Amino acid sequence: MLPDEILQSIHPLSEVDAQSACSIGLALLDNEHSLSGMLFDDIRTMSADMTHEQGVHVFRSWHDNLDQPITLSWESHLAVNTRWGVFSYFWDDFYYPGPDDLIIFPEDRSWAVHLSYDEALELGRTTQSIHI
């Protein structure tokens, strides 16, 4: 169970906003359901099958602005807003292999994280904001 102060920093989106977040997340992917090489200059792929500590290291090495607001989208009716520091530390409470992918992005979409149902992890970064 997540601590109360962490739970208070996680804000579920309305159904309409969750649908919008899902549309944005899907637009960041290509036809093969991977982060789009047309949008991201730097894409790294690895297994999401890692320990809690390894995941914290991977995510915090990828992006170090722990206060940056982000959106997490699982499917068209399920998305939340929180901060990168919350996700990057409690990542394994937000993701587990299953039927849904998880796509994470900041408002400017300058980077994204894609965790797929089959335990593939993609980290994408671009030098420009992506407008979708």
Q: Decide if 123 contacts 113 (C-beta within 8 A).
A: yes
Which residues, listed in sequence order, are joined to residue 120 by a DSSP beta bridge? 47
Among 63, 59, 68, 115, which Cα is nearest to 90's?
59
- The C-alpha atoms of residue 60 and residue 66 are separated, in whole angstroms, by 8
pLDDT on residue 1:
82
125's CB contacts (< 8 A; 6+ apart) are 40, 41, 42, 43, 110, 111
**Domain ranges in the chain?**
4-125
Mean pLDDT score, 92-112: 91
Q: What is the number of residues in the chain?
A: 132
Buried b (16+ CB within 10 A) or exposed e, 16-42: ebbbbbbebbeebbeeeebbbeebbee
pLDDT band at 131; cut points 50, 70, 90? confident
Mean pLDDT score, 10-26: 97
Among 104, 72, 79, which Cα is nearest to 15's?
79
**Residue range 21-50, pLDDT digits in tens:** 999 999 999 999 999 999 999 999 999 999
Residue 6 has what DSSP assignment? H
Question: What is the residue-averaged pLDDT of the chain?
Answer: 94
**Residue range 104-128, pLDDT digits in tens:** 999 999 999 999 999 999 999 998 7
Is the full-model pTM beyond 0.85? yes
